[in-house]
Amino acid sequence: MFTIGVLASGKGSNLQAIIDYIKTEKIRVKVGIVLSDNPDSAALNIAERAGINGYCIPEDKHKTFLSPGIEKKYVKTLREHGVELVCLAGFMRVLKKYFMESFTGKIINIHPSLLPAFPGLASWEQALCYGVRFTGCTTHFVEYGVDTGPIILQAVVPVLREDTAETLHKRIQEKEHIIYPLTVRLIAEGKVSISERKVHISN
Ligand code: GRF
C-alpha cells in the first residue's frame, strides 16, 4: 500500500476528495496521517470520521512558516506513519529547508489557478480582477519558491460574466477534487517522472 500524508489548514475538501476517490476506485493508496497547524481545521474532523490518525501540530511564533523545531515534529510524525508522499491541501505555511530535504521530490501541492499565473493567495480573486477568460487549478511538485515547481496536472475553468469570487472558487474546487486524487494515483502507480523540470506521465 502506498502511504500518503496530508497537510491541511482549512476546510479539507481536497482531503475528502482523496479519501472518497481511494474508496470508490479501490486504488492501493492509504492516507496514513493528516496533520494540521490549525486546531479548528475541518480536515481533522474529516480524518477522524474516516478513521485516519489526525493531529494538530501548532506553530505560535510565525504565521507563514514553521519554526525548525516544529518542522522536525512534522517530519518525525510523517515518517512514523510511513509516509511516502506528502500532499499539501490548503496548508497555509511555506515549507523550509529541513522539511524539504526530508522529503525531496516527494511533496506535492494543489493551487487554485493555472500556474504560473496567479500564485499566492486568493488566486480566483486575482483571476477575476485581472479579467482572464479562463483560469483553473494545478497540481505540482513543491520546491523552494511559492507555487513554483514542476507542473503535474492542470484543469481549465471558464470565467463567466456573472462570476463572483465565491462562484468561481467553487467551480475551481470542483476541478481540484478531480485532479488532486488523480495526481496521487498517478504518482502511487509510479507513472510520474521529471526530466529538466518537465513532468512526464506514462500510460
Ligand atoms: C484549495 O483551493 C487549494 O487549491 C488551495 O487551498 C485550498 C484548500 O481547500 N491550495 P480545501 O481546504 O481542500 O477545501
90 CB within 6 A, ligand 1: yes
Q: How far is the CA of 110 from the centre of ligand 1 (A)?
A: 7
Q: Any catalytic annotation for residue 111?
A: yes
Atom of ligand 1 nearest to the CA of 173: 2
The response to whether residue 112 sits with its C-beta less than 6 Å from ligand 1 reads yes
Q: 10 Å Cβ neighbour count for 128?
A: 18
Spatial separation of the C-alpha atoms in residues 118 and 125, rounded to whole Å: 9
Full set of structural domains in the chain with CATH: 1-104 (3.40.50.170), 109-203 (3.40.50.170)
The yes-or-no verdict on residue 203 having pLDDT over 90 is no
**How far is ligand 1, taken at its centre, from the CA of residue 71, in Å?**
21
25: its cell numbers: 476506485
**Cα of 96 from ligand 1 centre, angstroms:** 20
Q: Which residues have CB under 8 Å from 115's CB, separation 6+?
A: 138, 140, 147, 148, 151, 154
pLDDT above 70: percentage of residues in the chain: 100
Helices (H), the chain: 13-25, 42-49, 68-80, 97-102, 123-130, 165-188
Assess whether the C-beta atom of 147 lies below 6 angstroms from ligand 1: no
pLDDT-derived band at 44 (thresholds 50, 70, 90) equals: very high
Question: What pLDDT sits at residue 145?
Answer: 85
Residue 37: the pLDDT is 97
Alpha carbons within 13 angstroms on the beta-carbon side of residue 135 total 30
